[in-house]
Structure formats: structure tokens, C-alpha cells
Amino acid sequence: MSHATHTGPGKVSPFGADVTRWIGVLEALDSGVIVLGPDGAVQFANRAAILLTGGPAAFAGSVRAGAAEVEHPGRDGERRLLRVGRSGIDGVPGGQVLMVSDVTERRRHTEALGRVEKLDETLRVLSVISHKINNPLTALLGRAQILKSKIHTDPHVEKAAHVIEESASRIAELARELSRVLKESRQDTVDQLLAAEAAHRD
């Protein structure tokens, strides 16, 4: 398919008189541009449109009126998310211009940021829970040690105090381990966020 479709006798060119200059401008764009005549036929498609859609005529025919974003197979076979804008053409009743841009990476970036932010919020909640567990455990350990030091006459009570102390110590150790893991995980989420931002800028 040639990039420009020549208009026949009696047809109005969507570019006006200075066709070559306008085609040069459109070919330099990263976004796809598809020009449709009043009958819906493709009169022009720039290189970006051909690369993005594979076949501008089939793509234009498959896009529902009013659709803002559509999934479309890319040249590599992977489905891409394409954003489609429409506008009329002055002086060409029924003519349309489709502006097509690939927003796949932008959507992936947004979704990745959402996952990272959700994970970070979860880690914040777990961190608060860890602190709330640790505070009463400290008091429990202290009371168990006092109880253990003052009761020597009843071996059963002394054993119970010892069990309380050991159990509280194990839970406190788990809380400290959880806090350590949370700190490392939060740093990982920050690293992921920075990596996602860097990839989006590139």
C-alpha cells in the first residue's frame, strides 16, 4: 500500500493544494494518521499508521465509532493497546482523520505503579500491626519475668511463667523479623517504582 492515495478527477484532496508539504509533515509524526474519504475508504496513511495497525484499511473498518482505545495485534504478534482519536476534515463532508497512538507501555506503566503503590500500602499496614504486636509483648515479657522471679514455692506457677516468657520471646522475635522483612520489602517497592519511572521516561 502506498502511503498516499491519489485523488481522482472531481475528488477533493484532504490536504488541499500543498499535498507534498503536508505529507512530509505527517510522515514525520510518531503517531499514526489515517485519512478516510466520505465513503470510508483510506485516502492516506502515514508510515506510523502502517507500522501500528499492519493494515490501515482493515483497522479503520474494524474500529467502532466512538472507540477511544482498542486492542490490536502488533507486528510482533503481541496485542497492543492503541488510542484512537477522530476528527472531521474541513471542506470534505463525511471525511475523517484517525489519529492512532500506541499507549501499551503507558498502560503497563500505570498498572505497574498501581501494583507497587498497593503493595506499599499493604506493607505500611503490616508495619503498624508489627508495632502493635511488639508493644504489649514487651509488657507481657516484663510481667512474666517478675512473676517468675517471685514465685518459687509453686513449681506449676513457675513453669507457667516460664512458658509465658518463652512464648512471648518467640513472638517478639517473629515481630522483629517481620519488621526487618518489611523494611527490605519497602525498599524493593521503592526500587521498582524508580525503575518503572525510568523505563517510562526512556
Domain boundaries, the chain: 19-102, 107-201
Tens digits of per-residue pLDDT, 136-172?
777 777 777 777 777 766 777 777 777 887 887 888 7
Q: Are 54 and 70 in contact (CB under 8 A)?
A: no
**DSSP notation for 85-136:** EEEEETTEEEEEEEEEEE-HHHHHHHHHHHHHHHHHHHHHHHHHHHHHHHHH
Q: How confident is the model at residue 4 (pLDDT cuts 50, 70, 90)?
A: very low
What pLDDT was estimated at residue 100?
Answer: 92
Tens digits of per-residue pLDDT, 11-26?
445 555 567 787 888 8
What pLDDT was estimated at residue 17?
Answer: 53
Is residue 64 scored above 60 in pLDDT?
yes
How far is it, in rounded angstroms, from Cα 164 to Cα 148? 10
Q: What is the pTM of this model?
A: 0.53
How far is it, in rounded angstroms, from Cα 61 to Cα 81? 17
The CATH number for 19-102, chosen from 3.30.450.20, 3.30.470.30, 3.20.20.140, 1.20.120.640, is 3.30.450.20
What pLDDT was estimated at residue 76?
Answer: 67
How far is it, in rounded angstroms, from Cα 19 to Cα 4? 10
Tens digits of per-residue pLDDT, 97-120?
898 998 888 888 788 778 778 877
Is residue 2 scored above 50 in pLDDT?
no
